[in-house]
């Protein structure tokens, strides 16, 4: 049943995102090829300038809209589909509440990552006029080689830990929003406003806890034995591992809280 939920969620959201992704990439290509056309007369240059300005404005609007749309759809799909009128239907299905949350979370994470990738590649398409693709990948390759030289064999572990930490951080952020919406829905009035307040409260509490942990564990300078500004490989891996455990604990906590409210305290009035 979880597979069907994921399939339904992807279909419902894909028809919004895929056209937006294609449009963004199309305007990135248009802007890429508009840049070298400014070699005509004064009148042609003026027309070109207007066309480029309009095209670039549309592109920037699409990039901003892409990020905003990702956030709005994430919130809307959870709120409307589970806590709105559609919730009566969704919770009559033979599906546990945690599967509903997991399906929403998985698809939200997927579209967030894809939105970031599309935005990155669209910027890369435009920037290839000033910087060639060869130079871009050469810079990335040099940075990776330097990273491997600094950390040795632990660089691969560190790279893996960074990816895991990034995924968990994204999940934790989304689950914070879900938990805030669920908490706000416990009230009979001003649910959205209270949900916003709950999000601020949860974020503030997590920041306070993070600061306390940082003060306790990182009050001393963390340098390698040779005095380099780069932490020792083992220390860096330890910090990343600790961050993974810490972030995962918050994500699990928000997941359990949201699931508890949907399962035991659901209020669709």
pLDDT tens by residue, 128-181: 665 566 666 677 777 777 666 666 666 677 788 889 999 999 999 999 999 999
pLDDT band at 229 (very low <50, low <70, confident <90, very high): very low
pLDDT at 18: 92
For position 232, what pLDDT does the model report?
57
Of 208 and 152, which is predicted with more confidence?
A: 208
Residue 197 belongs to domain spanning = 133-269
- pLDDT, tens digit, for every residue of 238-263? 788 888 999 999 999 999 999 999 88
Which of 130, 156, 179 marks a domain boundary? 130
Q: How far is CA 109 from the centre of its chain?
A: 6
Are 63 and 97 within one domain? Answer: yes
Q: Residues 22, 110: one domain? A: yes
Whether residue 122 contacts residue 55, with contact meaning beta carbons closer than 8 Å, is answered with no
Token representation of residue 4: 């069907």
| Residue 44 pLDDT exceeds 70 | no
Q: Closest Cα partner for 21 from 80, 70, 56?
A: 70
Longest distance between any two alpha carbons in the chain, whole Å: 71
Instruction: Provide the token pair at 167.
Output: 């995924």
d(CA 44, CA 139): 37
pLDDT of residue 201: 94
Q: Is the pTM of this model over 0.75?
A: yes
Q: Compare 266 and 174 and report the one with higher pLDDT.
A: 174
Residues 116 and 158 in one domain: no
Asked whether residue 137 falls in the same domain as residue 125, the answer is no
Asked if residue 220 and residue 118 are part of one domain, the reply reads no
Residue 115 shares a structural domain with residue 142: no
104-124: per-residue pLDDT in tens?
A: 999 999 999 999 999 988 888
Specify the pLDDT at position 266: 73
Domain count, the chain: 2
- CA–CA gap between residue 71 and residue 109 (Å, rounded): 11
Residues 89 and 211 in one domain: no
Cα–Cα distances in Å, from 21 out to 15, 33, 37, 76? 11, 19, 25, 19
SS3 at position 255: helix
The burial class, CB within 10 Å (0-12 / 13-18 / 19+), for 256 is middle
């Amino acid at each position: 049943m979880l597979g069907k939920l994921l399939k339904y969620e992807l279909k419902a959201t894909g028809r919004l995102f895929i056209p937006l992704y294609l449009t963004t990439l199309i305007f990135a290509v248009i802007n890429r090829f508009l840049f070298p056309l400014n070699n005509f007369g004064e009148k042609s240059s003026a027309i070109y300038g207007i066309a480029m300005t309009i095209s670039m404005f549309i592109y920037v609007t699409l990039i901003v809209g892409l990020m905003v749309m990702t956030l709005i759809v994430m919130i809307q799909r959870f709120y409307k589909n589970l806590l709105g009128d559609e919730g009566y239907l969704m919770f009559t299905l033979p599906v546990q509440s945690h599967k509903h949350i997991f399906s929403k979370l998985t698809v939200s994470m997927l579209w967030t990552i894809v939105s970031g990738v599309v935005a990155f590649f669209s910027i890369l398409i435009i920037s290839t006029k000033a910087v060639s693709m060869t130079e871009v990948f050469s810079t990335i390759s040099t940075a990776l080689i330097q990273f491997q030289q600094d950390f040795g064999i632990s660089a691969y572990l560190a790279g893996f830990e960074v990816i895991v930490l990034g995924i968990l951080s994204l999940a934790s952020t989304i689950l914070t929003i879900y938990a805030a919406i669920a908490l706000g829905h416990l009230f009979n009035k001003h649910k959205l406003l209270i949900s916003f307040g709950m999000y601020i409260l949860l974020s503030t509490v997590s920041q306070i806890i993070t600061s306390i942990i940082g003060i306790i564990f990182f009050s001393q300078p963390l340098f390698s034995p040779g005095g380099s500004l780069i932490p020792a490989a083992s220390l860096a891996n330890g910090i990343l591992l600790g961050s993974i455990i810490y972030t995962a604990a918050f994500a699990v906590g928000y997941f359990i809280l949201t699931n508890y409210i949907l399962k035991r305290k659901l209020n669709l009035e």
